[in-house]
Structure 1
Amino acid sequence: MASRLSCRRSTIGPRHSLLLRAPEEVPVEVRGLPEELARRIAAAASETELRDVAAKVVAEALLLLDHRGLIKDLDKIWPTTRACKQLGTSEVLTLTSAIKMSLASTLRDIAQFGGMPRRKVLALFNFLAELCWANYICPSEHAIQKAVHGLLDAAFVLSEHACSAEPAGWYVESCAYFLARVGEIMMLNPLEVFNVLDPLTARLASLARRLPRRTKSFVWLLLRRRELMWRGTVQLAVSSAYWQAYSGARLVLTGHFKGDPKSCSLAELPWCACASIMRFICEGNALDAADALWSIENHADIPSTDDWLSEFLEKRPATPKAREGSECSEANSPTSPFQIQIESE
């Protein structure tokens, strides 16, 4: 068995060698880094250039639902990238720390201002999960935990005042998905489980009670994966329900342009009316209909009732108040680049 958690970077700690699993083959069709951006990363030799390419890597990640190809390309470039000293300090800036700083800024903006579409919030947390598995960052980075708590605070306010169920659901889905991906790593540190994983899981379950069923399915996935000791793999993909709706929207389009007005009512409607019908049937962007797919034998669908959620909340063990980061994580050290970025801003 080959270790997916390689020791090429010292960002997580000695637990790398404890978690073994078969290496994943990246499908050919999975999109990676654009060639021009890859060349710019390899050629970056100053602080400005490193910060710029790191920001573009994060921006590129927000356009994807599957980041395995992007991480694979980063791994190829990473050994050849150059480090430089930051202006005004003696700190060394590397590609890894530059990506961390860009992620910290993006996470802070989401937590404070919101406004990011569901597909981009999910894409960002999927990218974070892949970076954790590739040892670029730690699941308990201060910036990650601060963003998670900020998003869940916003979800609570939105759900309490019935402002909008959609953003609240997006935030809960993204955080639950992230924990479903990296919980296997966090389980190797009991203190991290006690301080971070357990409190966040309980908080997600509590918030999910008043949110739509799609959001509940993400929380159920997290609870079920942990119950089965993280068996199988989880990835984001466009749900089959979207493609069914897409087929219906195409029938509307076909009826409008190809139908016989004598026998097809759609052919008599103005285009604006047909366009409204299509938008009602199918979401405009396929990535907005992203769902978490769990690859596992004998996979069961989410129960039809919410009894499982009520039972979990009744039986959950006592946990400390959810904190902004785990005390046991070396990433929360005052010298952590991720921590420095958040505190300085």
Structure 2
Amino acid sequence: MNTFLFWSCLILALEVTAYKNPDLPGAKSYNDFKVYRSYPKNNDEVDFIQSFESQENYDFWTDLKKGEPVEIMVSPENERIFENKLSTRGIKHEVIISDVQQLINLEKVGSRLLIPNSGGGHNMTWTDYHPLENIYSYLDYLQTKYDFVTTQSIGKSYEGRDMRIVRICRGGCGAKPAVWIDGGIHAREWIAPATATWIIKELVENDYKHPDLTENLDWYILPCFNPDGYAFSRTTDRFWRKTRSDNGNNKTGCKGVDANRNWDFHWNDGGSSSNMCSQNYRGPKPFSEIGCVPCLMYPASGTSMDWAYGVANIPYAFAMELRRKGFVLPPDEIIPAATETWNFHITVVRHIYSKVTQYSLIL
């Protein structure tokens, strides 16, 4: 059985009125939606801005804290009301994105970089964002071609999609210290699954460049933690964040749970909502959405990182915020973002492994 040394959750640092997107039938359009940055100076201003969080057409893109800027997406019909209310109270604010749909349109244009795949067998590239089917076909390709790679479905999502991990283990899994990486816990953060698959590619297809990483460690990577939400964000609502569970017979019709507020450690201790329509709705109980995913690999109202520290006793856990432009990162930034994230992981993992090895030798 593995001892997990390192846990990494790749994230980025919107439910709105159902406008139609003409480029994708049935999808919401964000024409003329604006993103504001506001600067609450004291608790009264924080409380006032927080009052918008439960209202439709206000989507908080960053956490609200005193003395720190907060970014909020506002629908066109609400922008004048929003500006007037902030101005009346003397709360500093500015527009940082004047038309959110323009960002989405840029995202649809694939990168001009020509980075070929590994010679066929899959459609995965890192010059565009890919559907779940392409991600999983890439995992199948690696499993077929490399004898130290296996894949596994560790459960089904609410809508019946497989939650697939890749296991990268030389000499079989279980005998070495292990690293867990997951991405895409929030559906709209497309750069996270793209980066997770880049890390998989580096570990497997470029293993010859850094053999110590697979000789000394087992790797378990879940590239898309929230497959239902990810699929919905690609077809219907680009800024969908939560899962797609139906939340029972509620009158609001609001669906989904914030999967990163659904862990069984300090659940419901703050930083989440009991409102089913909220983007950070914590769910009716811990692990209501998908169960304890890592428990399937590791016997062992918080976030995944809280759980890794507090329950699984994994000594090193990180939630890494990737580069962002309002959740919509142009495809030509996938490789730069993935490369810097990969460099961080190999640097930290090697350092942790050397420290653990030294400590073991001293004992």
More helix by share: 1
Instruction: Return the index of the structure with the highest Cα Rg.
Output: 1
| TM > 0.5 fold call | no
TM-score normalised by length of structure 2: 0.26
More strand by share: 2
